[in-house]
Amino acid sequence: MTQEIPVPTVAPRASTRRSRGQLIGDGLAWTSRWSLRLLLTALGAVLLGLIIGELWSIVLPVLLGLIIATVLEPPATWLRHHGVPSLLAAIIVVLGALAIVGGVIAAIAPSVAAQIPQLVGSASSGLEDVQRFLTETFGLGQSQIGQAVQAGVDQLQNSASMIAGTVFSGLTVIANGLIDLVLALVLAFLFVKDGHRFLPWLRQQVGTSAGVHFASVGSRAWDRLGGFIRSQAIIGFVDAACIGIGLVVLGVPLALPLAVLTFFGAFIPIVGALTAGVLSVLIALVSNGLTNALLVLVLILAVQQIEGNLLQPLVQGRGLGLHAAVVILAVTGGSSVAGVVGAFLAVPVVAVAAEIARYTNEQIDLRARSDDEHPTQGPRPTDAELFAAQPPRPAGRLARWLRRHRTSVEPDGRVAAEDRTNPARGNGATATNE
């Protein structure tokens, strides 16, 4: 007698197919949710922009002070590491920077005062050459050219009141700029003196979990901003030296002021160098003629090629991580909003914002990877554990030196090196040099 083996019955699987209407409804619901989120985010950004606009007289000196502090922090850190008190180190570096800037101005002023009359005379002869060219090429008579010149003079006379108002507004802007610059210097002094205590204090105020993120993103943004300013200063100095020597050899007036303008133009990537180069070519054209201007143009193009192909990869490494189109759009937007100051601040602000976005994306990827590895078992890892688990970021030699030697003062007066390479090791704790 055979025994029948029962065959297990399989329950029919429920159909997972969804109707076309359900799929469209889900898509519309997803789009609506994200549209509302984007709208609220845009409203928040607009509100933040309005607040910054209302407080611009405060925000501008703070931003300028931070940028100046990034230049002054390395020598101040070096002095503190060698036993100089923070107050004295800040005084030394600020006064030293003012002495350097004052020395440059003192060196430029006599050259400008001596060569301006020569440039005016060259401009007059250049206008005569233009008049002769128009007469010989287009057959314009002296009377026609005189009528055109007289029409221009009449237009200037009719616009005298508007020109006077523009000049008065310009003087007001210059006065406000000087006030902002003085306030920025005072803030830079305070940032250099006490800035190294900020991150430990911030970690103590916001707690361990949030302090990890605040300290890390603050450190990375500061390193990015400082690296940008220092690298642009090096590139600008090399460009200014090469172009200044070339202008002296070619006999172009105002060579030293043009070299200084080239140095400061380097802090506005692409646009600043282009503006300084165009001005150099125009002065060479007015003073020395077309051939000399073409030689100056060749010189500037050669220096720009050396900068783009050698200096920037060597000094900046990966640079800002921003596409050239983003840089141009940032400078254009900044100049349209706040003029020259906006063009100067645009790229550093965008670079810091991009660094914050990179950190946010890294944290999102790290948390998503943690959720995939530990979906439900056990407690979720803390932010400090997630931060400690991620691989260290490569840093430049100067950034690594600064991280090893930034110091903080303990309550008992001892000086200990602040461990900024891994903020997860403690809430404002310090460690010895690595």
348 contacts 229 by C-beta, under 8 angstroms? yes
Q: Give the residue among 80, 105, 379, 398 at the shortest CA–CA distance from 227.
A: 398
> In this predicted structure, what is the pLDDT of residue 32?
92
pLDDT of residue 43: 95
Contact between 368 and 386 (Cβ < 8 Å):
no
pLDDT of residue 274: 80
Q: Which amino acid is at 242?
A: C
Helix (H) or strand (E) holding 416: strand 415-417
73: Cβ–Cβ under 8 A, 6 or more apart, which residues? Answer: 191, 192, 195, 226, 402
Question: How confident is the model at residue 427, as a pLDDT?
Answer: 37
Domains of the chain by residue range: 56-425
Q: How far apart are CA 272 and CA 340, in angstroms?
A: 10
Let me know how long the chain is: 434
* Residue 19: per-residue pLDDT: 82
Give the other-Cβ count within 10 Å of 376's Cβ. Answer: 6
Q: Which ranges of 159-207 does DSSP label H, i.e. alpha helix?
A: 160-194, 198-206
408: DSSP letter: E
Q: What is the pLDDT of residue 410?
A: 41
Given a contact cutoff of 8 angstroms between Cβ atoms, the answer to whether 260 and 104 are in contact is yes
Sequence-ordered strand ranges (E) for 290-413:
407-409
pLDDT tens, residue order, the chain (434 aa): 455 555 555 555 555 677 888 888 888 999 999 999 999 999 998 999 899 888 888 888 998 888 888 888 888 888 988 888 888 989 999 999 899 888 888 888 787 777 777 666 666 666 666 666 666 666 555 565 566 665 665 665 565 566 566 656 666 777 777 888 889 899 989 888 888 778 777 777 777 777 778 888 888 888 888 888 888 888 888 888 898 899 889 888 888 888 888 888 888 777 777 888 888 888 888 788 778 888 999 998 888 888 777 777 666 655 566 777 787 888 888 888 877 788 888 888 888 888 888 888 888 888 777 665 555 555 555 555 555 555 555 444 545 555 555 544 444 444 444 444 343 333 333 333 33
The encoded tokens of residue 396 equal: 């430049």
